[in-house]
Structure 1
Amino acid sequence: MCGFVCLWNIGDEALADRMIRKIAHRGPDAVQVSRLPGAPVIMAHCRLSIIGPEDGAQPIHQTDDLLVANGEIYNHEDLRAILGESAFETASDSEAILHLFRSGESRWISKLDGMFAFVLATRNRIIAARDPLGIKPLYVARIGAGFAFASELKAFDGIAVDSVEAIPPGSLYDSVDGWRDWYRTPHGAAEPEPDLDVARTARELRLVLEEAVAKWMVADVEVGSFLSGGLDSSIIAAIAQKIRDKAGKGPLKTFSVGTEGSPDLLAARVVADHIGSDHHEYAFTAEDLIRDLPHVIYHLESADIDLVRSAIPTLFAARLARERVKAVLTGEGADELFAGYSYHHDYIDNPRALADELTRSLGTMHNINLQRVDRVTMAESLEARTPFLDRDLIDFAQSVPATLKLRRTDPEAPESTGPTTEKWILRKACADLLPHDLVWRKKAQFDEGSGTVSALETALAELIGRPAPISRADEGALYERLLREQYTDAERIIENAGHWEGGRVASA
């Protein structure tokens, strides 16, 4: 995990250094600026060492090629075996990108399994690409006749550019061959086939999920887990603990935050005790919010009200976790795959529309929830991993009919969250992992279950200088003011930010 900058046809090493320093929080272990001799490229990299910590420094320079990458390639060991171990010069998982490119296969990028963004340069060519759902960020700006790439928008702040935009998820730019959409999210199924065996489907989902968690735990450092006490993070933590037990590694470190006595803190304690994790928690206050709100908004690169609210507990969880680990698992992606948002209940009688909406919302995660997780955890130099967004799991989940994700249920039945139950098939698949009451606990938003809403009301009244309640309009105006105060080119940040509309993710 890291941050990087790449300048193409912009021969200004001082500019590259200035830009990488603005995002150095993404990689406190090392900062390096390199040129490729005989080519119009400068690359800068700040590193958080997770895999190959001893010899995985970047940029990676081999013969006439130079590479910077952010993220993790989880199948790098398999790729080494296929491509030939002797070709590799480091233990870095990112080096697999370079050798896949050199293989000459037309769809070489599709063989990468993980979360990533990278820029690869030869003497006369530059290639930039991003993982299927945009878990890892990548932006490109035009500066005269050249391109500038960076992991965060703030790297461009105060720099005159002609334009700046995000590289779309699942896409690749090649200065020789142009743009490619190398990944397309599989479209979700609506109705079950006549002979579908629901029990078998649930069992297979569990196996795919277990494989995803195991894959996303690969690291040369200890990996912990966020644990909000909700269904998604609890499932991930429970499976991760089983994997550690099987490997003889002992308790998983889990991390929970909330206001004192909040539902999330209480539920997380129950889960931690049930799975036997090494649990840590932090109870934040309104005073913490007053102090850290500008920090959250600056790193989030957004003033969207709902995104800021959910980023607040993420910050405290990241800060708590970074005291003990360099990487954590999170539960992001389950709501989009298995119909977990409250507005999804409106689709109960239209499974085709629900399946379409789930597919659409997967494609919008990159500048909403995934932006929140990436920016806020990396602000604390912590890598966040999202096993629910594993490609194999996405493929399988999208093949599961929407009628098994959102179901009409008897509100009085033990296996129910109300008249309609969200994430029904996920709950069935993982029912034995957790206490029954938690498996069938009705979903609460992270900012609600953690107590953020109540603490924020107090903090906002203090910051705005007016008694609570504070209107959403005034809350939004405060967030925008705090953002503008911290950026020279605030409009550029606001224009690129995603947002929620009417309780649902807006179109990308």
Structure 2
Amino acid sequence: MPGHLPDATGFALTATPAGSAAEQPGTACFATAGPTTAVTLRAGDWLWTGFLVSPAGSTPLPGVATDGPTTVLLAGELYNQDELVRAVGDPKLADAGDAWLLLACLRRYGPHAFRLVNGRFAALAADGGVLVAATDHCGGVPLYLAVGAASVSVATEAKALPTMADGPHGQAVTGLRPLRGTGAVHQVPAGGGVVVEAAAGRPRTRLLRTWTPPLHRRHLPEEEALREVREALDRAVRSRLRTGPAPTAVLSGGIDSSAVAALTASACPGLRTVSMGTDLRDEFREARLVADHLARAHPGPAATGGHTEIRIDTADLLAELPWTIWASECTDPDVVEYLLPLAALYRRLPADRPLRILTGYGADIPLGGMHRDADRLAALDDAVAHDMETFDGLNEMSPVLSGAAGHWTTHPYWDRDLLERLLTLEAGLKRRHGRDKWVLREAVADLLPAETVRRPKLGVHEGSGTTSSFTLLLREHGVPDERIGAAKGAVVRRLYDRLVAGGAHPDEIDLGQETKAALHRPDAPGIEGGTRGT
């Protein structure tokens, strides 16, 4: 990648077998900001038509590599380039760009090349008459697909697919989840790809699994476990750094984000950190403690670039709810609440300076950090396994959350290699000596203030007051406390139907009116005044 952001950050394309009547691109709706390039491209035995989204100043066909019968489109980036260069045996590819490197891997290994790749990406590839649409191991860049009678449409945002606007039609695809409100649009599973062949002009599909969460566990001596976690986290952070402006790290002052910030500061001069709070709650003191510590630890030429605190009033935070759902395309109210403060934060960062942002998001899942009530190691490990079985399709890691503001996020804890190492550690290394996430805390203890290392884990919402803001909205509409959870789900689904399936823009949404409409549906949770309950 020539710049500090990926060449391409999104796409919506329709592939038609060459010689068939091609579908001409109309318009596509992306939440991802950036120049949109119309594309008509011969790719193997297919004709691709549609749109690419890229950061400003990218190449004419961003993220596209073509060599004879093989064409690759990559939205996102790869993190194990050195391994892939060795696999294909061509050192010149080290500087050729991620799309070209992926193309070389596909030429050598076919669709199974995606089993080699560690990255944050969605890709579309054509090799002769075979088409492959694939996403990374954690679905970090969501990917959606619709198969018609003689074409295949693929997009990184469901709202950008032509079938979302035209209504439900098309074929069911075995192994893929249909999206809410449509039988035609499906989400490609994390660690998966769809292989399409044009058989007698009619697309024929099969699912290709490229990664699954490991279930085995390893018992390591303490020192070995600490060394492995430290080294793997450091590699994950360094693989996400690029030439160009210094990156930004989201910093809450908790162990997860603080460890990422500390390792980034060690590797990259000029790191900037940013924290967000609301009028109800903030973690500014805890984050400032870490930021000041890093500034002292890296003086002179390696100095950090400063720390910023952003406070958002509760009403303003809640107003970001439509933007959060529009970007994440998520219907799970708990996940939407997790993402709400992040979406609000990204939209308040400088819009004229696209940022590469590293976060500590996601560490709780492989380390069991959310399960403080699991009183036995077996229960903790069961919780970790369950979370890994159910994360797919929730779009927690979607880059569109920051992409809607023109930025690019990446999450080192969900680096494929680090994730596998964390998951396979036995539960006694995750909760040890009465401390949650013990192995991570001890692995980075020398990089951070002792108070940060010892700081108890907070709930996902506790640092920003997100839950409180959503709850207050529903109480204003008369929802009793025992129905708050169900009411949140009804509101989120209503907004999803308007924004993703219905094509509305967040600025068109009146949150009060939409909340009222969601709560007064026949299947909505009961509120004071007598709507039907579930």
Same fold (TM over 0.5): yes
**Which region of structure 1 is more displaced relative to structure 2, 255-264 or 67-76?**
255-264
Corresponding residue of 2:284: 265
Give the Cα separation in 2 of the matches to 1:293 and 1:301: 12
Q: Percent identity?
A: 27
Judged with a 3 Å threshold, the aligned counterparts in structure 2 of structure 1 residues 128 and 480 are, in CA distance, closer, same or farther, namely closer
Q: Deviations over 1:431-470 (max 9, x none)?
A: 12222222222222342211223344444456x4789998
- Greater share of residues in helix: 1
Give the Cα separation in 2 of the matches to 1:27 and 1:487: 16
- Is residue 2:519 matched to residue 1:471? no
Corresponding residue of 2:458: 444
Shift of 1:213: 0.8
Letter of the 2:330 partner, please give it: S
- Is residue 2:151 matched to residue 1:146? yes
Judged with a 3 Å threshold, the aligned counterparts in structure 2 of structure 1 residues 59 and 32 are, in CA distance, closer, same or farther, namely farther
Give the Cα separation in 2 of the matches to 1:34 and 1:222: 36
Give the Cα separation in 2 of the matches to 1:289 and 1:137: 25
- Is residue 2:14 matched to residue 1:7? yes
Judged with a 3 Å threshold, the aligned counterparts in structure 2 of structure 1 residues 325 and 298 are, in CA distance, closer, same or farther, namely closer
- Is residue 2:222 matched to residue 1:198? yes
C-alpha contact (below 8 Å) 1:388/1:394 kept by paired residues: yes
Corresponding residue of 1:495: none
Identify which of structures 1 and 2 has the higher relative contact order when contacts are C-alpha pairs closer than 8 Å and 6+ apart.
Answer: 1
Letter of the 2:235 partner, please give it: E
Letter of the 2:41 partner, please give it: R
Q: How many residues align?
A: 460
Give the Cα separation in 2 of the matches to 1:446 and 1:322: 25
SS in 1 for 2:498: helix
Judged with a 3 Å threshold, the aligned counterparts in structure 2 of structure 1 residues 401 and 34 are, in CA distance, closer, same or farther, namely same
* Residue among 104, 111, 135 paired with 1:130: 135
Judged with a 3 Å threshold, the aligned counterparts in structure 2 of structure 1 residues 299 and 396 are, in CA distance, closer, same or farther, namely closer
Give the Cα separation in 2 of the matches to 1:296 and 1:309: 9
- Is residue 2:34 matched to residue 1:28? yes
Judged with a 3 Å threshold, the aligned counterparts in structure 2 of structure 1 residues 294 and 261 are, in CA distance, closer, same or farther, namely closer
- Is residue 2:296 matched to residue 1:296? no
Corresponding residue of 2:441: 427
Judged with a 3 Å threshold, the aligned counterparts in structure 2 of structure 1 residues 58 and 253 are, in CA distance, closer, same or farther, namely same
Shift of 1:398: 3.0
- Is residue 2:406 matched to residue 1:381? yes
Shift of 1:188: 4.0
- Is residue 2:363 matched to residue 1:315? no
Shift of 1:340: 0.5
Alignment of 1:164-203 (within 5 A): 164-176=185-197, 178-189=206-217, 192=219, 196-203=220-227
Give the Cα separation in 1 of the matches to 2:135 and 2:319: 34
Alignment of 1:59-70 (within 5 A): 59-70=64-75
Corresponding residue of 2:333: 305
C-alpha contact (below 8 Å) 2:192/2:210 kept by paired residues: yes
C-alpha contact (below 8 Å) 2:63/2:99 kept by paired residues: no
Give the Cα separation in 2 of the matches to 1:183 and 1:35: 30
Shift of 1:350: 4.0
- Is residue 2:428 matched to residue 1:403? yes
Shift of 1:45: 4.2
Corresponding residue of 1:113: 118
SS in 1 for 2:11: strand
**Which region of structure 1 is more displaced relative to structure 2, 272-281 or 257-266?**
257-266
Corresponding residue of 1:159: 166
Give the Cα separation in 2 of the matches to 1:173 and 1:37: 17
Shift of 1:62: 3.2
Give the Cα separation in 2 of the matches to 1:327 and 1:389: 16
| Large movers: runs of 4+ above 6 Å | 10-14, 465-470
Shift of 1:400: 2.0
C-alpha contact (below 8 Å) 2:33/2:404 kept by paired residues: no
Q: Deviations over 1:341-395 (max 9, x none)?
A: 13x542x4243x5334423423433323x43543322222221111111222123
Judged with a 3 Å threshold, the aligned counterparts in structure 2 of structure 1 residues 55 and 8 are, in CA distance, closer, same or farther, namely closer
SS in 2 for 1:447: coil
C-alpha contact (below 8 Å) 2:12/2:52 kept by paired residues: no
**Which region of structure 1 is more displaced relative to structure 2, 399-408 or 71-80?**
71-80
* Residue among 252, 261, 275 paired with 1:256: 275
**Which region of structure 1 is more displaced relative to structure 2, 443-452 or 260-269?**
260-269
RMSD of aligned residue pairs (Cα, Å): 3.1
Give the Cα separation in 2 of the matches to 1:4 and 1:329: 23
* Residue among 63, 67, 71 paired with 2:76: 71
Corresponding residue of 1:504: none
Give the Cα separation in 2 of the matches to 1:98 and 1:303: 35
Letter of the 1:355 partner, please give it: D
- Is residue 2:241 matched to residue 1:227? no
C-alpha contact (below 8 Å) 1:188/1:355 kept by paired residues: no
Shift of 1:236: 0.4
C-alpha contact (below 8 Å) 2:342/2:401 kept by paired residues: yes
Judged with a 3 Å threshold, the aligned counterparts in structure 2 of structure 1 residues 300 and 87 are, in CA distance, closer, same or farther, namely closer
Corresponding residue of 1:217: 241
Corresponding residue of 2:47: 41
Gaps of 5+ in 2: 1-5, 171-183, 198-204, 296-303, 504-534
Give the Cα separation in 2 of the matches to 1:451 and 1:295: 18
Shift of 1:301: 1.7
Shift of 1:218: 3.3
Shift of 1:237: 0.6
C-alpha contact (below 8 Å) 2:324/2:336 kept by paired residues: yes
**Which region of structure 1 is more displaced relative to structure 2, 113-122 or 253-262?**
253-262
Letter of the 1:358 partner, please give it: V
Letter of the 2:393 partner, please give it: N
Give the Cα separation in 2 of the matches to 1:262 and 1:312: 15
Judged with a 3 Å threshold, the aligned counterparts in structure 2 of structure 1 residues 263 and 232 are, in CA distance, closer, same or farther, namely same
C-alpha contact (below 8 Å) 1:169/1:366 kept by paired residues: yes
Judged with a 3 Å threshold, the aligned counterparts in structure 2 of structure 1 residues 479 and 110 are, in CA distance, closer, same or farther, namely closer
Q: Deviations over 1:23-79 (max 9, x none)?
A: 1x42504523122178333143433349x9567724333333332211111233554
**Which region of structure 1 is more displaced relative to structure 2, 105-114 or 326-335?**
105-114
Give the Cα separation in 1 of the matches to 2:342 and 2:497: 22
Judged with a 3 Å threshold, the aligned counterparts in structure 2 of structure 1 residues 315 and 398 are, in CA distance, closer, same or farther, namely closer
C-alpha contact (below 8 Å) 2:44/2:68 kept by paired residues: no
C-alpha contact (below 8 Å) 1:55/1:92 kept by paired residues: no
Q: Deviations over 1:81-125 (max 9, x none)?
A: 65435579x843222111111124674333322122111113422
Q: Deviations over 1:148-180 (max 9, x none)?
A: 111111123212332221111112222259332
C-alpha contact (below 8 Å) 2:277/2:312 kept by paired residues: yes
Give the Cα separation in 2 of the matches to 1:37 and 1:206: 43
TM-score using structure 1 length: 0.81
Letter of the 2:356 partner, please give it: A
Judged with a 3 Å threshold, the aligned counterparts in structure 2 of structure 1 residues 261 and 308 are, in CA distance, closer, same or farther, namely closer
Give the Cα separation in 1 of the matches to 2:191 and 2:25: 26
